[in-house]
Amino acid sequence: MSKLTTPHGNGSLNPLLAPEEERKSVLKRAERLRRVPMSSREVSDLLMLAMGAYTPLTGFMGAADWRGCCTDMKTADGLFWPIPITLSCESDLADGITVGDEVALVDAAGTIFGTLEVAEKYVIDRAFECSHVYRTTDVAHAGVEKVMRQGTVNLAGPVIALNEGQYAKTYPGLYYRPAETRALFQDQGWTTVAAFQTRNPMHRSHEYLAKIAVEICDGLLIHQVLGALKPGDVPAAVRVASIDALVANYFVPGTVVQAGYPIEMRYAGPREALLHAVFRQNFGCSHLVVGRDHAGLGDFYGPLDAHHIFNEIDKGSMEIQPLKIDITFHCYRCGGMATGRTCPHGEEDRLNISGTRLREMFANGEQIPMEYSRSEVLDVLRAYYDDVE
Amino acid sequence: MSKLTTPHGNGSLNPLLAPEEERKSVLKRAERLRRVPMSSREVSDLLMLAMGAYTPLTGFMGAADWRGCCTDMKTADGLFWPIPITLSCESDLADGITVGDEVALVDAAGTIFGTLEVAEKYVIDRAFECSHVYRTTDVAHAGVEKVMRQGTVNLAGPVIALNEGQYAKTYPGLYYRPAETRALFQDQGWTTVAAFQTRNPMHRSHEYLAKIAVEICDGLLIHQVLGALKPGDVPAAVRVASIDALVANYFVPGTVVQAGYPIEMRYAGPREALLHAVFRQNFGCSHLVVGRDHAGLGDFYGPLDAHHIFNEIDKGSMEIQPLKIDITFHCYRCGGMATGRTCPHGEEDRLNISGTRLREMFANGEQIPMEYSRSEVLDVLRAYYDDVE
């Protein structure tokens, strides 16, 4: 039996989803509890807790863990954790909740996703969190804006998850929990697995990144964000279809597993790259591909900040290793795909198409060069863009 | 200061070349000693010992070490060592040598390369060595043939090296000893360095292998065999010029160090791949690129035998890690360079030119496709082939 990377915190996976047979009775109890509404990001964190992706966390963090994660990327117990996982609520609602109460956690539509046993109520300095985690308090940053406009009181305590939302039904054969990806990797006989995080269709530059990972690991996990994205992003279903087309035509069978997971991006750049690594370890991965401006947004982070932060954390913070790859592109003088580390030529020799320019090319029906994207991928995207116009 | 991989055996480098100031007096003494002629392979091993590449060995191996290396890839002390390093002599010469004698080691031209303090004389089963080390006793194998026709008695003991031959003079700026490559790597601030072993000019498939290594390591050592080669191989000087042309035009400055070293290939396939790894650790490398049929010859080894053997040795045998890469080629359907692990297409889509066919193309003045080799490299080789015809 192949030996995969141990779950984070050196124990076993800790999914917080109630066992099927208990769910009904807990739900019945929850229906009579006071309801705490969650933001879409909080729902996505609860789903990550539910599936075991946030192992070994047992729920939403208290004040000491929150502060430790902000300042030192460690919980009060010394566990490495780069971004606090918290639940906020408005102060008038919080006033009616007493420590020791159990509350029901609901999404914007009122669906119960779980319960929280309130162990702590506390008020945070939201700007303090943002300046540590996001390196900015500028509300033009979508992740920061969500923190700054969240409720003023945080509720903390152990969680029981009751609901995994629509993902499993919407993406059959894609929504895999950490125990399931581990089983898939074991079935393939893999020991080392690189995770490739994506929230976009994969063009040739992404394919190239992924193939470098295939060279040095037993297998590749193409791991798609199924949670909420930025406006203008291609919908998950279209992206999935385009990635399917790429994998079917340009990857060797038996080297790739595809999966999706329910996080909502924070766009916290380097700190989020660390979080991406930690939970990929739970999914059974030994490596995380960290490209240029990983989990970044606009110009908020330097293009290699997410590479550098892996050198700044204590050794032994996690088992998984970053696979740091510079910017990738087609270079006409190299006559092939290359990266900033392997191509000595100038910008004038390199093919660069921005996301905006690409959308414009689709809109105008312009020919997109085969050096930029596979025709099979472009066909899928073209059908989508033709539809939305 | 960056931390490179420790020399093999967990100590410091152990070059056996006598310090400059002692060389004259030892040489004077050696001139009066009985002379033991070395084969060209034995000379090359002495040079490897001299420069510290065979750290922590102190000389030619005795019977217990020889047997342990053949059967278990370990010396009597438990040091991992995959190929015995021995010195042979004819029995009539051996008859005149007594344990405790010091003898002078000379090459075919009679030049003194060092002295050996004879600690042991022993007779080996040469077929036993070949069947373990080379996996064959077929004298059609050039490495086997050298063992089978060597003298019947082995002499063992500590060595003092006095001469490094012509390499340093012939290849200035290329002949670097392990202490020197380590200093070069330190100067660059590298911690992880991949060694790329070559005895041939580098075409695009070799460039691609090397560039995968550049992606995951701080730097690349292109490490050329300067010792004797197979008939038909391109001479070292031509190969060096062609690799210089490649590096100057297609690698990013500051990512590559070139060096040459004096080994004579044994073509022992998987066992030699392990030896290549062990001494690359002494040169300061953290990784060795192990391609298809590494150090192989004809059809004596399976194409991936040199990959598999790294899984078969005990963990902790060495610090350096193999970077196993499948066969590399240009694939017209992929539209770029690829390997057996990343290209799902058939042979009919791939560009394959054998060494024999390539020489034929040069001889006929045929156009060699740019997908096979860089024009700057072809120019150097074309000039050589035009000259030899």
pLDDT band at residue A153 using 50, 70 and 90 as cut-offs: very high
Closest chain A C-alpha to B211 CA, distance in angstroms: 6
Closest chain B C-alpha to A155 CA, distance in angstroms: 43
Closest chain B C-alpha to A211 CA, distance in angstroms: 6
In this structure, what are the phi and psi dihedrals at residue B312, rounded to the nearest 5 degrees? -90, -15
On the question of pLDDT at B171 being above 90, the answer is no
Q: For A14-25, write each residue's pLDDT tens digit.
A: 999 999 999 999
- Between A212 and A385, whose confidence is greater? A212
Report the complex ipTM.
0.90
pLDDT band at residue B353 using 50, 70 and 90 as cut-offs: very high
At B296 the three-state DSSP class reads coil
Closest alpha carbon to A156 in A291, A65, A50: A65
What is the residue extent of each domain of chain A? 20-165, 169-261+326-388
**Buried/exposed code over B231-248 (b: 16+ C-beta within 10 A; e: otherwise):** eebbebebbbbbbbbbbe
Nearest neighbour of A370 by CB, restricted to B216, B335, B338: B335
Closest alpha carbon to A100 in A155, A47, A55, A56: A155
| A122 touches A48 (CB < 8 A) | no
| Record: contact A215-B342, CB cut-off 8 A | yes
Q: For A265-301, write each residue's pLDDT tens digit.
A: 999 999 999 999 999 999 999 999 999 999 999 999 9
| A89 touches A71 (CB < 8 A) | no
Rounded-to-integer distance, Cα A281 and Cα A53, Å: 9
Residue in B199, B204, B266, B374 annotated catalytic? B199
Q: How many CB atoms lie within 10 A of CB B360?
A: 12
Task: Find the range with the poorest average confidence among A6-10, A142-146, B78-82, B234-238.
Answer: B234-238
The secondary structure of residue B290, as a DSSP letter, is E
Alpha helices in chain B (DSSP H): 20-30, 40-51, 63-72, 91-95, 126-133, 142-148, 167-170, 178-188, 204-216, 236-250, 270-282, 305-312, 355-363, 375-388
Alpha helices in B135-177 (DSSP H): 142-148, 167-170
Residue in A35, A200, A359, A382 annotated catalytic? A200
Which chain A residues touch B if contact means CB-CB below 8 Å?
A: 211-212, 214-216, 249-253, 255, 323, 325, 334-344, 370-371
Supply the pLDDT for residue A2. 61
**Residue pairs between chains A and B whose CB atoms are closer than 8 Å:** 60
| Record: contact B371-A335, CB cut-off 8 A | yes
Amino acid identity, residue A334? C
Cis before A7? omega within 30: no
B200 catalytic residue (yes or no): yes
Q: Report the DSSP beta bridge partners of residue B37.
A: B106
**Buried/exposed code over B336-352 (b: 16+ C-beta within 10 A; e: otherwise):** bbbbbbbbbeeeeebee
Rounded-to-integer distance, Cα B68 and Cα B80, Å: 10
CATH of domain A20-165: 3.10.400.10
Q: Taking residues B279-302, what's their average pLDDT?
A: 95
Rounded-to-integer distance, Cα B107 and Cα B85, Å: 17
| Record: contact A212-B216, CB cut-off 8 A | yes
Supply the pLDDT for residue A388. 74
On the question of pLDDT at B378 being above 90, the answer is yes
Residues of A in contact with B191 (CB under 8 A): none
Cα radius of gyration (chain B): 21
On the question of pLDDT at B333 being above 60, the answer is yes
Query: CA of A211: which chain B residue's CA is closest?
Result: B342
Supply the pLDDT for residue B228. 67
Nearest neighbour of A215 by CB, restricted to B250, B251, B325: B325
On the question of pLDDT at A31 being above 60, the answer is yes
Supply the pLDDT for residue A112. 98
Q: Which residues contact B189 (CB under 8 A, 6 or more apart)?
A: B2, B218
Supply the pLDDT for residue A229. 67
pLDDT band at residue B232 using 50, 70 and 90 as cut-offs: confident
What percentage of residues in chain B have a pLDDT greater than 70?
98
Residues of B in contact with A339 (CB under 8 A): 215
- Between B230 and A342, whose confidence is greater? A342
Supply the pLDDT for residue B27. 97
Supply the pLDDT for residue B167. 87
Q: For B54-81, write each residue's pLDDT tens digit.
A: 999 999 999 999 999 999 999 999 999 9
Q: Taking residues A113-127, what's their average pLDDT?
A: 98
Query: CA of B287: which chain A residue's CA is closest?
Result: A216
Element (H, E) at B37: strand B34-37
Nearest neighbour of A342 by CB, restricted to B252, B343, B370: B252
B349 CA to centre of own chain: 33
On the question of pLDDT at A1 being above 60, the answer is no
Q: Which residues contact A5 (CB under 8 A, 6 or more apart)?
A: A281, A284, A285, A286, A319, A320
Mutate to test the interface with B, among A188, A193, A216 (most CBs of B within 10 A): A216
On the question of pLDDT at A255 being above 80, the answer is yes
B199 catalytic residue (yes or no): yes
On the question of pLDDT at A67 being above 70, the answer is yes
Region label for B245, one of left (φ > 0), alpha (ψ between -120 and 50) or beta (otherwise): alpha
| Record: contact B323-A216, CB cut-off 8 A | yes
Rounded-to-integer distance, Cα A244 and Cα B65, Å: 55
Q: Taking residues A252-263, what's their average pLDDT?
A: 95
Query: CA of A255: which chain B residue's CA is closest?
Result: B341
What are the distances in angstroms from CA A347 to CA B219, B252, B264, B300, B365? 23, 14, 43, 47, 35
Q: What is the pTM of this model?
A: 0.92
Supply the pLDDT for residue B2. 60
Rounded-to-integer distance, Cα B290 and Cα B32, Å: 45
Cα radius of gyration (chain A): 21
| Record: contact A342-B216, CB cut-off 8 A | no
Closest chain A C-alpha to B9 CA, distance in angstroms: 25
Supply the pLDDT for residue B69. 98
Supply the pLDDT for residue B163. 93
Q: For B17-36, write each residue's pLDDT tens digit.
A: 999 999 999 999 999 999 99
Supply the pLDDT for residue A226. 84
Supply the pLDDT for residue B389. 62
Amino acid identity, residue A47? L
Start-to-end CA span in chain B (Å): 51
On the question of pLDDT at A387 being above 90, the answer is no
In this structure, what are the phi and psi dihedrals at residue A290, rounded to the nearest 5 degrees? -120, 105
Nearest neighbour of B336 by CB, restricted to A216, A255, A337: A337
- 3.10.20.30, 3.30.1280.10, 3.40.50.620, 3.40.605.10: CATH of A169-261+326-388: 3.40.50.620
Residue in the structure block whose two tokens are 């929150």: A66
Rounded-to-integer distance, Cα B15 and Cα B160, Å: 9
At B160 the three-state DSSP class reads strand
Closest chain A C-alpha to B180 CA, distance in angstroms: 24
| Record: contact A336-B336, CB cut-off 8 A | yes
| Record: contact A212-B214, CB cut-off 8 A | no
Nearest neighbour of B212 by CB, restricted to A215, A336, A370: A215
On the question of pLDDT at A29 being above 60, the answer is yes
Q: Report the DSSP beta bridge partners of residue B287.
A: B194, B321
Q: Taking residues A335-360, what's their average pLDDT?
A: 94
Q: How many CB atoms lie within 10 A of CB B225?
A: 22
